[in-house]
Amino acid sequence: MKICIVAEGCYPYVVGGVSGWINSMIKAFPEHEFVILAIISDRSLSGKFKYELPGNVSEVHEVYLEDYEWGTKRPKRTRLSKKQHNALFSLVMDENVDWDTLFDLFGRQGISVNDLLMGPDFLSVITQCYKEKYSEMLFADFLWTMRSMYLPLFFVLKTNIPKADLYHCVATGYAGVLGCMAKHRFKSRLLVSEHGIYTREREEELIKAQWLSGEFKNLWIEQFRKMSALAYERADMVTSLYEHARQLQLELGCPAGKAVITPNGIDVERLKNIEGKAPDDKFINVGAVLRIAPIKDVKTLIMAFGYAKAKLPRLKLWIMGPADEDKEYAEECYELVENMQIEDVVFTGRVDVKDYLGKMDFTILTSISEGQPLTILESYAAGKPVIATDVGNCSGLIYGENDGFGDAGIITHIMNMEEIADAITELATNPEKRRAMGENGYKRVMSRYKLDDMRETYRDIYRKFEA
């Protein structure tokens, strides 16, 4: 079977949980041929892979959300038919969107995204939408917001999609649109797997965004909602990592009969018998396995560690992960350590966690958004308890979901330095609690979150799509 993995902003360009999951999935099924359809911001990232592609990946196709039209000859400007005009209007108004007509429109050779956005058909649709729903805004601001909002979607719709038997979208959003367009074009099957709930994550980002204000935020939020609604409607199956995520999918319109829970899994054997802490190591080692990016809230981690270390000088923080995703943010983190004069903070860069986890006393994750973090499961496989913020499935992983194993760490609120510092202090000063929690975590990961369990789950799913 030929499987097209459709991913946005991750594999194989960014190291992280979702990317690692995709890489593991491809390696787990050498009998299948995989094609990668990767959605990235622009051509500056083209070909800059952070992963060595497995041998069963035959092609990588790139889709750019920020792009320009190539070629010296401009396509002939085309007016839309009444059916196409109505389809465009249904999209903008989010009323019974005629996606199939839009898929066919953008599948035509020679259609120009620029000419469409700057032409009379788009202007007519936007003007009508403005009069009916948004007349309290300045029209010029509304028009240019709508152009900027539809530019990336129209580039996605114009994609020349590789043919495959199954399209496995690792998100809704733009990836889901591509999967639905492929299903329409090739009559193929469509599987959507969400690690975080895409619509909610974009909503959180937009609410915090400084570049948008007021009703313009709502315009963008609705745009992502309508794309996710399409993916839920057209997918043959939709997976999530845990029950609460599944419930969010149902709230956002996913039919209950399609929604399936497929927990993450890690290679626990790889973390067996790893090197432990040296006898002469007098530090209490705190490990943070993460990429240095705002969503991981490394600044709060550093400040909380600084407050805890002021009470317990034996603390040492190991921040293990790449710093090239947001270099400006990484520099701010380095400067924060220096300005606060915090000693014993080590930035290792990208490492193999099996070389470090055994030397940690516990690990920590202070993210403002997560799905079901692999780093927590890896800590458990190494017998280490975890401090984590209450995002995604972190609470379920740490406190259990009626599995009877007991607490495997401490949950804190996001961006709460005092709580996080207190949690660090509590685990640092209670070696017996650390040991018991580490054992609980090990039992939990062995009971449900092994890589072999995840492989079998997806092997069954892929077999259903082969039938």
What pTM was computed for the model?
0.90
Q: How many domains does the chain have?
A: 3
**Residue range 102-118: mean pLDDT, rounded:** 90
**Residue range 130-135: mean pLDDT, rounded:** 93
The answer to whether position 457 is within a domain reads no
The CATH number that applies at residue 400 is: 3.40.50.2000
Contact 223, 153 (CB under 8 A): yes
**Residue range 305-313: mean pLDDT, rounded:** 97
pLDDT at 80: 92
Same domain (yes/no): 313, 444: yes
pLDDT at 67: 85
Distance of CA 191 to the CA centre of its chain: 16
Confidence of residue 72 (pLDDT cuts 50, 70, 90): very low
pLDDT at 75: 52
Contact 252, 232 (CB under 8 A): yes
Q: Which of 261, 296, 326 is the last residue of a domain?
A: 261
Same domain (yes/no): 290, 370: yes
Same domain (yes/no): 281, 395: yes
Q: What is the pLDDT of residues 144-176, one digit of tens each?
A: 999 999 999 999 999 999 999 999 999 999 999
Residue 143 and residue 127: Cα distance in Å, rounded?
8
Same domain (yes/no): 116, 251: no
**Residue range 414-440: mean pLDDT, rounded:** 98
pLDDT at 361: 98
Same domain (yes/no): 247, 215: yes
Q: How many helices (H) and strands (E) does the chain have?
A: 17, 13
Q: Which of 227, 261, 295 is the last residue of a domain?
A: 261
Please state, rounded to an integer, the average pLDDT across all residues of the chain: 94
Same domain (yes/no): 90, 228: no
pLDDT at 215: 85
Confidence of residue 416 (pLDDT cuts 50, 70, 90): very high
Residue 202 and residue 395: Cα distance in Å, rounded?
22
Q: Is 80 exceeded by the pLDDT of residue 420?
A: yes
pLDDT at 253: 95
Same domain (yes/no): 376, 443: yes
List the one residue out of 380, 342, 351, 346 whose CA is nearest residue 363.
380
The answer to whether position 141 is within a domain reads yes
Please spell the DSSP secondary structure of 54-116, one letter per residue.
PTTEEEEEEEESS----SSSPPPP-PPPHHHHHHHHHHHHTSS--HHHHHHHHHSTT--HHHH
